[in-house]
Amino acid sequence: MPSTTYQDIDPMRAVISLLGASDRISLDVIIRQGLPLSALDKLETYGFSAEELGIVSSSVIKRRLAQGRNLTINEGDHLYRASLAILLANYVFGNQKKASIWLLKPRKALRGRTALQATETTPGLQAVEVLLERLRHGFAA
């Protein structure tokens, strides 16, 4: 049996799984209810921490763990956008290392921001998606 590559994985389904949503509970509902902090651990398997992405600091994570609290709606939404960009890049490049390099390099098309910095807003994520789609079809981005 051939090994699985990132190109064999549907990025949207992977985000749904990463954030703990399912056919029974939508991403919108789970983000509004407050994503569990365990979603941050899943993100780290792709080589990025929530603190590095500007979602939430490690001290806040520790405090929330002690209090049994989840991410806020804004933090969860940012985690969703960053996760989608990371998984899309992994899908396009088929390689986590190449995807990480692309995600962390400032881009003129993103006004000097990295793709991950762009995910701080929904329009920024949309711009990242356009660039990745262009790359997927063989155009320069």
Residue 125 has pLDDT above 60, yes or no: yes
User: Rounded to whole angstroms, how far apart are CA atoms 12 and 55?
Assistant: 20
Cβ contacts of 3 within 8 Å, gap of 6 or more: none
Residues 2-59 have pLDDT tens digits of 344 445 567 778 888 888 777 677 888 989 999 999 899 888 988 999 999 999 999 9
Number of other residues whose CB lies within 10 A of the CB of residue 12: 13
Q: What are phi and psi of 106, to 5 degrees?
A: -60, 140
The model carries a pTM of 0.85
Q: Which residue has the higher pLDDT, 7 or 1?
A: 7
Average pLDDT over residues 78-101: 94
User: Rounded to whole angstroms, how far apart are CA atoms 83 and 87?
Assistant: 6
**Residue 8 pLDDT:** 55
**Residue 131 pLDDT:** 96
Per the DSSP assignment, residues forming a β-bridge with 107 are 113
Radius of gyration of the chain (CA): 15
Average pLDDT over residues 96-115: 96
